[in-house]
């Protein structure tokens, strides 16, 4: 070594030392030195924490035992994609192991891997499978790259103090800074986008900034690339959630988005507690988690509105992070422990340790407090929303949901006023969700399948009315994004009669619709009835299709049907109709009943109808050359005319047990539904059935008001009610 180089080396060491001394200690991102010490002390003493720690250890030990592999990326969802995902997971966990145990081999592993990325990343061009503007280099989309960085910076943060300055310099100079610059400069619009992808980038850049003590990066991440507070993390917190915590893309996406929100919030709290990030925007992060949980069914599955995969539930890893942090930050809600207990693992930091200790000391954990709840959409909460009515215990709960939100960004569906129904712990009236086999490489590289656009987003794919075989807003996102449905009323104070009502005006030109849904438990029925009334108003003639995508096996219908049993055709050629086989059809001559069996229970739809109503029995799966769709059934009520009312009752009934060869109540109680009147004042529906069963349901079509008096006359009869709705259980008389 020459004198010159020795001197230079000494100088740079001094410089590094000097910088370090002014920096806060590491780790400082998701984990602090104090937390690491607490975790060390808890090892072997706190069961769920210990399980998680040991699991992390097994993953890392296995990684240490394998040759390290940092391959050139070639696929989207395949072997190299998976390898890089596992690499960041392994580094991240190794960082935690090092922080807690101090064993140098973990640090060495991270250092070696990061150095491989230092060598690889700068040489990478655009990913060979990149398909969109948001292309990545290491992965096919930049989103995965930001997730990589969120994890890699945490690993780096944990070994920061241990690393020689030269390595730090290489890792920061050749990997993290260029990555951050690339995110900010090459993906500026994404970086500044009010969208979950934006949150991920902001989190990645902020975490790099905090651990490298780079204020500029932090400020850009928090306040936008121009630092003008028009973009960035804080603006996202204000705009991506409605004031009560609804995430505009829906619960499936809040699952994903909540991770960078929670992670970055925790990092900010550890670094800039003065920002009071967890209090920001009226505790929006707390509300975000609760809205996600309230928009899951009791089995934890997120209600799959918009592009959503049904496998996702509160067991998804992102929810471990969010649940643990919220439990720790916002007071110890035992309902969150119920979720954490199902996780069976915790976050490996102070918050996770708190949860694990609470689980250890709780003898009886009550279920999460699922409630009937309405969430508004839009940053100001005035762009429609979503209503959920629930009844019954967690073990067997009826849930009915109506969607009357805004569009929900690029993953939104054209499904205003769509209805979903759960019972028996499972979906009964489904939303198809998204057409995607996530990460399954043979299925379009694991990406969204083309049928997501051609089928799952179309209006006909949903339990709502399609007008003239055209999707709402003509299936144009740009148009749909400018509109939203409107709440009419939402009333759950009386658990024996919960009712919600919403309307949409612009979705189909010249057609206004209002849907009113009641969930009605009654001592006559083992499970609540659903009353579903859709009033369609138009001055011109249209064709209206109202599908119910029931899950289960069709038993029978009360109308004669023509079965297309030797040859069948798709129902149409566009707007999703090309994906439906027409299996059979029939004409109503009065109220229509369609019954099916799902699990241990029977279900019947009883719909008001006359000879103007056609009934189409369909199955998804036409127009599907690549075998991408699930072949599931539906029944469509089709009617032509100007204004009309679809009034339907859904009755769950009876009990079937194939193992014990037991069946009772295979026939419903409800026999008929009739629309008695429907005017601008209100709609009156009559429901009759066995043994003198007779209900009359009234709902207002005027502005919502609890005090307004209503009166309608039709066919020589007059109905009065006060408030938005009334259910008259006038059994035995008529």
Give the interface with a copy of itself as residue ranges (CB under 8 A). Answer: 77-79, 82, 309-313, 315-317, 437-443, 446, 553-556, 561, 563, 565-570, 573, 578, 581, 583-584, 595, 597, 617, 619, 621-627, 630-631, 633, 656-664, 666-667
In the block, tokens 């928009």 appear at 295
Q: How deeply is 512 buried, as exposed, middle or buried, from its count of CB atoms within 10 A (0-12, 13-18, 19+)?
A: middle
- How far is C-alpha 264 from the chain's CA centre? 20
SS3 727: strand
Smallest gap from Cβ 45 to a copy of itself, in A, equals 27
Question: HSE of 19 in the Cβ direction (CA atoms, 13 Å)?
Answer: 14
Between 25 and 562, CB nearer to a copy of itself: 562
Q: Which residues contact 254 (CB under 8 A, 6 or more apart)?
A: 247, 288, 291, 292, 295
Question: Which H or E run contains 586?
Answer: strand 580-587
Between 84 and 390, CB nearer to a copy of itself: 84
Four-CA torsion 218, 221, 223, 225, nearest 10 degrees: 110
Q: Which residues contact 138 (CB under 8 A, 6 or more apart)?
A: 73, 84, 120, 121, 124, 127, 144, 145, 148
- How far is C-alpha 535 from the chain's CA centre? 29
Judge if the upstream peptide bond of residue 27 is cis by omega within 30 degrees of 0.
Answer: yes
**609 vs 637: CA distance, rounded Å:** 9
Name 514's bridge partners.
Answer: 503, 535
**277 vs 241: CA distance, rounded Å:** 15
Smallest gap from Cβ 346 to a copy of itself, in A, equals 16
- What are the tokens at 702? 């005027």
Between 34 and 438, CB nearer to a copy of itself: 438
Between 566 and 709, CB nearer to a copy of itself: 566
Smallest gap from Cβ 731 to a copy of itself, in A, equals 21
* Number of other CB atoms surrounding residue 431 within 10 Å: 24
Between 272 and 311, CB nearer to a copy of itself: 311
- What are the tokens at 696? 């009359």
- What are the tokens at 170? 């290489």
Radius of gyration of the chain (CA): 29
In the block, tokens 């009034």 appear at 647
* Pair 646, 637: CB distance under 8 Å: yes
- What are the tokens at 162? 């241990």
Between 533 and 607, CB nearer to a copy of itself: 607
- Which of the residues are catalytic? 253, 411
Q: Which pairing describes strands 670-678 and 682-689: parallel, antiparallel, or unpaired?
A: antiparallel
Nearest to 447 by CA among 54, 708, 235, 131: 131
Between 362 and 561, CB nearer to a copy of itself: 561
Nearest to 143 by CA among 77, 209, 65, 98: 77
**149 vs 291: CA distance, rounded Å:** 28
* Pair 222, 234: CB distance under 8 Å: yes
> CA-CA distances (angstroms) from residue 619 to 309, 583, 616, 638?
20, 7, 10, 16
Q: How deeply is 522 buried, as exposed, middle or buried, from its count of CB atoms within 10 A (0-12, 13-18, 19+)?
A: middle
Judge if the upstream peptide bond of residue 308 is cis by omega within 30 degrees of 0.
Answer: no
Residues belonging to the chain: 734
Smallest gap from Cβ 316 to a copy of itself, in A, equals 5
Cα dihedral 28, 30, 34, 37 sign = negative
Four-CA torsion 553, 559, 562, 563, nearest 10 degrees: 10
Between 344 and 366, CB nearer to a copy of itself: 344
**332 vs 198: CA distance, rounded Å:** 30
**305 vs 326: CA distance, rounded Å:** 24
**412 vs 473: CA distance, rounded Å:** 12
Angle among Cα 386, 392, 393 to the nearest 5 degrees reads 110
> CA-CA distances (angstroms) from residue 468 to 61, 167, 384, 504, 511?
61, 65, 24, 16, 11
Smallest gap from Cβ 56 to a copy of itself, in A, equals 15
Between 244 and 345, CB nearer to a copy of itself: 345
């Amino acid at each position: 070594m020459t004198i010159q180089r020795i001197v230079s080396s000494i100088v740079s060491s001094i410089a590094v030392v000097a910088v370090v001394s002014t920096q806060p200690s590491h780790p400082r991102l998701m984990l602090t030195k104090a937390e690491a010490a607490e975790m060390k002390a808890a090892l072997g003493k706190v069961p769920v924490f210990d399980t998680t720690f040991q699991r992390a250890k097994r993953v890392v030990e296995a990684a240490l035992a394998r040759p390290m592999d940092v391959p050139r990326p070639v696929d989207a969802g395949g072997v190299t994609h998976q390898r890089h995902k596992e690499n960041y997971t392994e580094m991240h966990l190794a960082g935690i192991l090092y922080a807690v145990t101090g064993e140098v081999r973990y640090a060495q592993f991270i250092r070696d891997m990061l150095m491989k990325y230092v060598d690889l990343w700068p040489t990478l061009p655009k990913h060979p499978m990149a398909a969109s503007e948001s292309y990545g280099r290491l992965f096919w989309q930049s989103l995965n790259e930001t997730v990589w960085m969120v994890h890699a910076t945490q690993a780096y943060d944990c070994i920061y103090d241990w690393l020689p300055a030269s390595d730090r310099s290489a890792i920061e100079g050749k990997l993290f800074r260029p990555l951050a610059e690339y995110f900010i400069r090459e993906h500026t619009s994404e970086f500044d986008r009010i969208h979950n992808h934006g949150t991920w980038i902001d989190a990645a850049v902020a975490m790099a900034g905090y651990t490298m003590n780079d204020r500029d990066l932090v400020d850009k991440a928090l306040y936008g690339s121009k630092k003008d507070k028009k973009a960035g993390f804080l603006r996202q917190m204000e705009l991506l959630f409605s004031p009560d915590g609804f995430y505009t893309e829906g619960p499936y996406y809040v699952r994903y988005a909540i991770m960078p929100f929670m992670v970055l919030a925790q990092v900010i709290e550890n670094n800039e507690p003065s920002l009071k990030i967890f209090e920001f925007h009226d505790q929006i992060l707390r509300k975000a988690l609760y809205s996600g949980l309230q928009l899951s069914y009791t089995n934890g599955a997120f209600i799959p509105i918009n592009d959503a995969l049904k496998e996702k539930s509160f067991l998804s890893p992102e929810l471990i992070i969010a649940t643990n942090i919220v439990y720790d930050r916002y007071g110890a809600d035992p309902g969150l422990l119920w979720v954490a207990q199902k996780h069976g693992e915790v976050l490996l930091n102070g918050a996770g340790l708190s949860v694990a200790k609470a689980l250890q000391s709780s003898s009886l954990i009550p279920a999460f407090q699922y409630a009937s709840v309405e969430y508004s959409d839009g940053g100001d909460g005035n762009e429609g929303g979503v209503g959920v009515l629930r009844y019954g215990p967690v073990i067997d709960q009826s849930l009915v949901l109506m969607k009357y939100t805004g569009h929900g960004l690029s993953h939104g569906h054209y499904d205003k006023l769509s209805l979903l129904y759960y019972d028996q712990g499972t979906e009964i009236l489904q939303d198809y969700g998204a057409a995607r086999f996530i990460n399954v490489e043979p299925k379009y590289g694991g990406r969204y399948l083309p049928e997501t656009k051609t089928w799952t987003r179309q209006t006909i794919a949903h339990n709502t009315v399609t007008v003239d075989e055209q999707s709402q807003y003509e299936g144009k996102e740009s148009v749909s994004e400018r509109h939203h449905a409107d709440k009419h009323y939402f009333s759950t104070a009386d658990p024996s009669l919960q009712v919600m009502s919403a309307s949409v005006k612009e979705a189909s030109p010249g057609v206004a619709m209002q849907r009113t849904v009641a969930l009605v438990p009654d001592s006559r029925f083992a499970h609540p009835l659903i009353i579903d009334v859709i009033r369609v108003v138009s001055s011109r003639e249209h064709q209206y299709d109202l599908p119910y995508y029931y899950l289960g096996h069709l038993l029978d219908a009360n109308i004669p049907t023509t079965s297309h049993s030797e040859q069948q055709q798709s129902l149409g050629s566009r707007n999703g109709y090309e994906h439906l086989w027409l299996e059979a059809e029939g004409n109503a001559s009065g109220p229509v009943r369609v019954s099916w069996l799902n699990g241990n229970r029977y279900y019947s739809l009883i719909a008001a109808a006359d000879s103007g109503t056609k009934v189409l029995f369909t199955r998804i799966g036409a127009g599907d050359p690549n075998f991408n769709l699930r072949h599931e059934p539906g029944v469509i009520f089709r009617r032509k005319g100007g204004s009309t009312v679809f009034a339907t009752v859904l009755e769950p009934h009876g009990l079937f047990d194939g193992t014990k060869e037991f069946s009772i109540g295979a026939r419903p109680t409800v026999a008929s539904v009739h629309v008695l009147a429907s005017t601008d004042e209100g709609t009156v529906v009559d429901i009759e059935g066995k043994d003198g069963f007779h209900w009359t349901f009234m709902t207002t079509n005027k502005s919502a008001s609890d005090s307004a008096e209503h009166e309608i006359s039709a066919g020589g009869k007059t109905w009065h009610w006060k408030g938005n709705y009334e259910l008259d259980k006038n059994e035995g008389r008529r």
